[in-house]
Amino acid sequence: MSLTERSSPYIWVTWLTKLMSGESQCQWSSWFRAHYKYDKLPSDFNATQWQSEHNELLHQRVAELESEGFTVYIEDENSFTLTGKDGITKLSGKPDILAIRGDEAIVEDCKTGQTRKSDQMQVLIYMLVLAMVNQHCQGKKLSGRLIYKYAEPVDLLPEYVNSDFINLFRSTVATASSLNPARKVPSYRECQFCDIAATYCPEKVEEEPAAIAAVEHDLF
């Protein structure tokens, strides 16, 4: 397996969102991705099926927005890379949809799986950054929306990008970009879905722990 250290920290938005939402506790996995290029573990995830379903949902939503009079930009048209104040750390992302109509600006992401708090964190980051870097968003209040295949849409108001959110975002970026390795929290629940091999993370929990034997107690 190959491992290459990056010349400077590079962070993809979705490497932060599970930490920010509390769905993940292992800070080290995000730190490792930000600092190294590596061969990912094979997965049984059906990327071809996901791409097909995602594209169908995306283009269906684009057609709806255009019928409502929005000018719509998709995927690569919305990609960004934001360099930190240190001149080194880079944050990148690619929102699915940016819709503009007059003074309205909405960033949307299409999801084919179940609803997650990390999805909301992802769109909130897009709202924060696009307002700074995207020419179509200048001078506009940017709203957000999650479009789910199997659930109702979730709207995210501009005021959700508040000081608490920005402080959480900053601290999570600082953890991932630090020169010092972040804290590992190995657990079977998280490790089984992590694409980082035990070669790089010897603490990786690869087998489900045995059930703890029943003990006598008078607690309940």
- Residue span of the structural domain in which 103 resides: 3-191
In a domain, 137, yes or no: yes
- Distance of alpha carbon 13 from alpha carbon 101, whole angstroms: 26
In a domain, 55, yes or no: yes
Of 110, 75, 86, 97, nearest to 173 (Cα)? 86
The pLDDT score that the predictor gives to residue 191 is 96
CATH number of the domain where residue 23 is located: 3.90.320
The pLDDT score that the predictor gives to residue 211 is 82
- Distance of alpha carbon 20 from alpha carbon 118, whole angstroms: 7
In a domain, 214, yes or no: no
Do the beta carbons of residue 40 and residue 24 sit within 8 Å?
A: no
Label residue 142 exposed, middle or buried (CB < 10 Å: 0-12, 13-18, 19+): buried
Beta bridge mates, 193: none
In a domain, 201, yes or no: no
In a domain, 65, yes or no: yes
In a domain, 127, yes or no: yes
Do the beta carbons of residue 74 and residue 96 sit within 8 Å?
A: yes
DSSP 111: E
Give the percent of the chain with pLDDT over 90: 92
pTM higher than 0.85 for the full model? Answer: yes
The model's pLDDT over 11-57, given as tens digits with 9 standing for 90+, comes to 999 999 999 999 999 999 999 999 999 999 998 889 999 999 999 99
Do the beta carbons of residue 184 and residue 201 sit within 8 Å?
A: yes
Q: Are strands 90-93 and 10-12 parallel, antiparallel or unpaired?
A: parallel
Do the beta carbons of residue 42 and residue 215 sit within 8 Å?
A: no
Count of the separate structural domains present in the chain = 1
The pLDDT score that the predictor gives to residue 1 is 75
